[in-house]
Structure 1
Amino acid sequence: MTTSPAAQHADHSSDDIIALVRELVSIESPSRDTAASARIADVLSARFEAIGGTVRREPTSAGTDLVIDVPGTGDPLLFIGHTDTVWPVGALDGEVPWVEDGDVVRGPGAYDMKAGIAVMLEALRTLQPLAVERRRAVRVVLVCDEEIGSPVSGPLLAARARGAAAAIGFESPHPDGALKVGRRGSARVRLSVTGRAAHAALDPEHGISAVDELVDQLLAVRRIVADPALPGPVLCNVGTIAGGARTNVVPAEAAAEIGLRFTDPDTERRVLDALAALHPVREGATVTAEVLSARPAWRASAQDAVLLEQISEAAAGVGQRIEGRPAAGAGDTNLLGGLGLPTVDGFGPRGGGAHAVDEHFLRSSLHDRVALLRAVLTIAAD
């Protein structure tokens, strides 16, 4: 990748870019809200078409994905992002209002990751005056279900990435601005238990408590993930538990959703196999473990290191220093890095509070990221 600082261009002010982020944040787009997904896809389609992109809208059962090709030279760089957020409709008028406080900008989904989409758009906009021979071709993929593990969009990524030279993810960077090269694998597993209902006082012996069985199964899960014989560590979070209806009825159904994180594929396989082999403690109960979504562990490769070095060289040309290291959280770049495509993530602006009420990004980091991306995409004149 040969890069140099981009030619002179007409910068938007920070206020202009912030206005774009606010427009995107104002369209609250929680995962699985297909109507909201279509609305934000409308806005982004128009924005990308205005900078010369060819937009394909790809409706799915989870919402609307966008695939945008922007003309340039060479095999395209693949930009990966998502339009869904963890926040329900109403968060903007409730616990996560839009706030601009000096360098800090807050709002639901602003940091994760609508500001990252704004970085893409602004960098591509500033490059449009350049001849196509002076800028890299780009393919942008914006999915609608990343926050729930990309169960629909994830299987489509490999086809969408076909022909790409490398992938850049626009999730948040490390707190110090370093890029993410390598990420833990993740899986969402639903553990379901069926027992038998009975009156809790008159004939409890005829019942099989699904809740009690679930408690014992979760203890078994704890032993599985803490097994010292596993090749790598496992992060395990029991995120939800549900079961039963009344205190005078032995519960017949119970379930838990579990989030798991892995540093290596072998540990992931062994843990998921052990969960699939769980058997009931109580005679007559049933236990099933269903993998709702999974992203493989992405271990940084030599090709990833080369891509990072190329980005670092481009950064030096615009007076920046860029480093990279592995990250704990998973994302769609796991799917691409795991396939062997040279990949880095974390091209969004700096900030913090992802998935929390203090979610925010730093206004001052927007132009740094735009300048870096512009440098990466600009081809030096001969």
Structure 2
Amino acid sequence: MTLMDETTRGRALERLRTLVGMESPSRDVTASRAITDVLAGWFETAGATVERVPAEAGVHLVMEVAGAGARAQEAPLLLIGHSDTVWPRGTLDGDVPWVEVGDTVRGPGVYDMKSGLVIMLAAIELLQGRSHRPVRIVVTCDEEVGSPTSKNLLRQVVEGVDGAIGFESPHPDGALKVGRRGSTRVRIDVTGRAAHAALDPGRGVSAIDELVDQLLAIRGIIARASEDVEVLCNSGTISGGTRANVVAAHAEAELGLRFIDADSEHRVLTVLDGLTPVREGAVVTVETLSHRPAWLASAADRALLERVAAAGAPLGLHVTGRPAAGAGDTNLVGSLGVPTVDGFGPLGGGAHAASEHILLHTLYERVELLAAVLG
């Protein structure tokens, strides 16, 4: 395997600078079209066939790179990335400018996860003229907001693949992510009946009191489920009512739930869907705002990790992996039973923060590692 030289490293850095310079916040369709046009052009030049998939949130990309040589007839390996970021337009001119200082590169989206897109492209270019397996690549445009328009696409692109690699950031020590907690956001909405709190309190039905009782019940549900396997529940927002002398007619809360396995996830969500009012006259509804299923690492996932580690050994790279708390597109892919690893991006830190950065030498290491896995 030919390792990256000064020219290929310089090209990778320049492409990263270009992508970070193209601010692409989630649901900005114009920005999504612009960055996917650039990515499509680069991958087409590298030999990929490119399909643009328009969506309400922007444009997804599905790309195929034919295999070559002795590995040409193998099943493809799926590479998973996203082009959207949490940063609004104008961030580059504000709190998070592009900065290069030694081995550190800073900028909005540089870590999460435009560097991952560069790794995919540079590795494919390293393989040109060599024997390698087929590669399928999907780049979604709405991962940062829960992938509302790309879930069905992800279900489609896993058909026939041998495994999948996600290009989100790794653990802080560089370990890959094998297994991810499921992440579900729900809104508990309560409708009551307004009344004067002193003159006619018996006519009112307090939505706030009902919501408090429901949240206490949910706390008990989570506690019972956690006796078997830990379930996390965070009350993110609570709102309701108008003033102290009016019985509240409406209240709501948004909860963030995290699950290690599909069984606890199913049991808890089923109970939440069946919540009933405690007091007569109240109406309780539960809405799922976003859902990424739990991905509990399987033997097949660990076998893929071992294959990646074996490819890295001749390069002097020690590859390890373990479960992660955060969720991403690989939650769905892994939960479908496709052998999956994630965290193939470079080392760095500060995702979603003004300190977002990568360590440049690890980007080059990931390129060489990916080329070794595919070749």
TM-score, scaled relative to structure 1: 0.89
SS of match in other structure, 2:134? strand
Aligned with 2:62 (options 62, 67, 77): 67
Tell me by how many angstroms 1:14 deviates: 4.3
Q: CA 1:228 to 1:140, structure 2 compared with 1: closer, same or farther past 3 Å?
A: closer
Distance (whole Å) between structure 2 residues aligned to residue 202 and residue 19 of structure 1: 71
Residues of 2 paired with 1:95 and 1:249: CA distance?
Answer: 43
Q: CA deviation at 1:153?
A: 0.9
Q: 1:161 and 2:179 equivalent? A: no
Aligned to 2:123: 123
Show the 5 A alignment for 1:303-342. Answer: 303-342=300-339
The DSSP-based 3-state class of the residue aligned with 1:64 is strand
1:89–1:230 CA distance, 2 compared to 1 (3 A): farther
1:21 and 2:3 equivalent? no
Shift of 1:243: 3.7
**CA distance in structure 1 between the partners assigned to 2:242 and 2:124 by the alignment:** 54
Contact 2:225 2:268 in 1 (8 A): no
Q: Does the Cα contact within 8 Å between 2:169 and 2:344 map onto a contact in 1?
A: yes
Bigger shift: 199-208 or 292-301?
199-208
Tell me the number of residue pairs that the alignment of Structure 1 and Structure 2 aligns. Answer: 370
Matches within 5 A, 1:1-382: 6-7=1-2, 11-12=6-7, 14-72=9-67, 73=72, 74-128=74-128, 130-131=129-130, 134-198=131-195, 205-227=202-224, 230-244=227-241, 250-378=247-375
Partner deviation per Cα, 1:227-280 (whole Å, 9 max, x = no partner)? 266421012223334444566655433333222111111111111112112222
Separation (CA, whole Å) in 1 of partners of 2:219 and 2:97? 38
Task: Please list every run of 5 or more consecutive structure 2 residues that lacks an aligned counterpart in the other structure.
Answer: none
Whole-Å separation in 2 of the counterparts to 1:144 and 1:218: 34
CA distance in 1, matches of 2:15, 2:195: 57
Change in Cα spacing, 1:125 to 1:241, as seen in structure 2 (3 Å) is: farther
Report Cα offsets for 1:21-66 as digits up to 9, x if no partner.
2322222222222222222212211121121111111112222111
Shift of 1:289: 1.3
Residues 330 and 340 in structure 2, CA contact (< 8 A), matched pair in contact too: yes
Q: Which range moves more in the overlay, 293-302 or 241-250?
A: 241-250
- Relative to structure 1, the CA distance from residue 115 to residue 192 in structure 2 (aligned partners, 3 Å threshold; closer, same or farther) is same
Identify if the C-alpha distance between structure 1 residues 22 and 258 changes in structure 2 by more than 3 Å, giving closer, same or farther.
farther
SS of 1:56's partner is strand
Alignment gaps of 5+ in structure 1: 1-5
- Decide whether the 8 Å contact of 1:14 with 1:363 is kept in 2: no
Identity of aligned residues (%): 61
Cα distance in 2 for partners of 1:92, 1:328 equals 29
C-alpha change, 1:229 and 1:239, in structure 2 (3 Å) is: closer
The one-letter amino acid paired with 2:87 is W
| Cα distance in 1, alignment partners of residues 328 and 270 from structure 2 | 22
Moved more, 76-85 or 334-343: 334-343
Range with greater deviation from structure 2 (37-46 or 212-221) = 212-221
Residue 3 of structure 1 is matched in structure 2 by none
Contact 2:192 2:283 in 1 (8 A): yes
Q: Which range moved further: 354-363 or 55-64?
A: 354-363
Range 365-374 or range 271-280, more displaced: 271-280
Partner Cα distance (1:345, 1:179) in 2: 6
Q: CA deviation at 1:15?
A: 4.5
Q: Say which SS state the counterpart of residue 87 (structure 1) adopts.
A: coil
Assess if the C-alpha contact under 8 Å between 2:225 and 2:264 holds in 1: no
Question: Is the Cα–Cα contact under 8 Å of residues 25 and 89 in structure 2 kept in the other structure?
Answer: yes
Per-residue deviation, residues 324-361 of structure 1 (Å, max 9, x unmatched): 11111122112122222111111000112222232222
* TM-score normalised according to structure 2 size: 0.90
Measured in 1, the distance between the counterparts of 2:12 and 2:195 equals: 61
Equivalent residue of 1:226, what SS?
A: helix
Assess if the C-alpha contact under 8 Å between 1:166 and 1:342 holds in 2.
yes
Contact 2:113 2:167 in 1 (8 A): yes
Q: AA paired with 1:219? A: L
8 Å contact kept, 1:151–1:292: no
Aligned-partner Cα distance in 2 for 1:95–1:246 = 38
